[in-house]
């Protein structure tokens, strides 16, 4: 059950990210690059930061101890980000399908973005990856609304509910 629950939450995260990218798709470069005193500075950089986090955590989950944090200086388009997220979703799902429930208790050593080594269970690392993205998606939704984009409802129940 636990592994299935984590997969379900990650699936929700992919859905929420798609909604954010849909909302950001029609924005001008000026709107994407408008500075904010929250998150990592702008909507574009926040979206890239979410992708980079998901990429790095996937590498760590796989036991790639020295996965470096990619640069966030790139002026990547929303369309290119959409492709990157989709590819990462496929790679993540393949990894998750390879896991047995007992794998969640395994300890992995990884290097953080400052170069320090840490040990953590795969379970805790999966949860951290989920929460990192969730936190920054909330910031991105706020930024999107503040630059004139649509107000995106990212509520989990909106994702799963069906009409009665």
pLDDT tens by residue, the chain, 164 residues: 699 999 999 999 999 999 999 999 999 999 999 999 988 999 999 999 999 999 999 999 999 988 889 999 999 999 999 999 999 999 999 999 999 999 999 999 999 888 899 999 999 999 999 999 999 999 999 999 999 999 998 989 988 887 67
Domain with 15 in it: 2-160
Rounded to 5°, angle at Cα 109 from 123 and 3: 15
Helices (H), 25-42: 29-32
pTM of the model: 0.94
Whole-number pLDDT of residue 158:
85
The Cα 123–Cα 132 span in angstroms is: 14
Whole-number pLDDT of residue 39:
83
Task: Look at the alpha carbons of 116, 113, 50, 70 in this order and tell me if their dihedral is positive or negative.
Answer: negative
The number of distinct structural domains making up the chain is 1
Q: End-to-end CA distance of the chain, in Å?
A: 26
Rounded (10°) CA dihedral 91, 93, 94, 97: 160
Whole-number pLDDT of residue 64:
93
**CATH code, domain with 154:** 1.20.120.450
The Cα 44–Cα 21 span in angstroms is: 10
Q: Which of 136, 154, 122 is nearest to 54 (CA)?
A: 136
Whole-number pLDDT of residue 149:
96
Whole-number pLDDT of residue 8:
95
């Amino acid at each position: 059950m636990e592994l299935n629950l984590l997969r379900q939450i990650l699936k929700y995260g992919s859905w929420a990210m798609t909604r954010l990218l849909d909302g950001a798709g029609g924005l001008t470069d000026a709107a994407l690059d408008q500075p904010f005193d929250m998150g990592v500075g702008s909507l574009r950089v926040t979206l890239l930061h979410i992708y980079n986090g998901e990429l790095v955590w996937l590498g760590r989950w796989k036991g790639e101890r020295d996965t470096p944090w990619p640069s966030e200086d790139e002026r990547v388009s929303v369309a290119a980000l959409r492709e990157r997220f989709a590819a990462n979703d496929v790679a993540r799902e393949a990894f998750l399908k390879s896991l047995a429930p007992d794998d969640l208790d395994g300890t992995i050593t990884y290097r953080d973005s400052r170069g320090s080594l840490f040990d953590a269970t795969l379970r805790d690392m999966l949860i951290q990856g989920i929460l990192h993205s969730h936190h920054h998606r909330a910031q991105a939704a706020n930024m999107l609304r503040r630059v004139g984009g649509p107000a995106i409802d990212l509520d989990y129940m909106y994702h799963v509910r069906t009409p009665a």
